[in-house]
Structure 1
Amino acid sequence: MADKTVTTRYDDMDDSTEGIERYSISFLGKDYEIDLGPKSAKKLLDTMDLYLPKARELSGPPARRLRAFPATTSERKPSGSGFSKEELQAVRAWAAQEGITVAPKGRIKAEVLAQYEEAHAS
């Protein structure tokens, strides 16, 4: 007999369950995480669009970024770095191709994560 655990993510604003994505936000020195569906995410992003054109972009290793994590039942919880296990595997593979030494297990340095994000920014 096998057990199957299903995780359902809910929109923190309206309790909907469709198209939920997780957003990580840093503001006033504190880190926040919120799960939002398309309507709530649009409200957040529209509000941010009012302020971001006036904001200064920071250089150097990025602080925590507004990141969306796809909501699927097979998704694993992101690590302390904000990257899922699958994303960390991709970082390790990319680092190896770039000649950057990264341990096969354990923590990946923030500088390497920042380099990976910079290289894969869209």
Structure 2
Amino acid sequence: MATRISKELVDDTDGTTGDVTTVPFSIRDERFEIDLSPANEARLRADLQPWINQARKPTKPRKRRGKYKYTGASTNDPAAVRKWALEHGLSVSTTGRLPSAIIASYNAAATTTTLQPPQ
């Protein structure tokens, strides 16, 4: 057995159905929606038009970019990290950013007497 559910919009002002759409609008940061036929939407727009003619569109606030904060592992000598990684059988590219796990392992190993590859 099949079930068919349909949704029909009804004009909120006069109860008509058919070519009805939801019209959003807002006043003082309150948002509203009303379902209107094309004729009633035109009436709403005509009623608001004198106010729209005197109004201005708000400017969008500029988005500020936060300060760049790199949270990954770092090293002052990427060539040494690459050399160490290759000596320990790890795959690293010859250019570009080093994987943070390899840098972290290198930094941890550099504080001990023997350098160990990452697990």
- Provide the TM-score with structure 2 as the length reference: 0.48
Higher relative contact order at CA 8 Å, sep ≥6: structure 1 or structure 2? 1
- TM value normalised by structure 1: 0.47
Larger Rg: 2
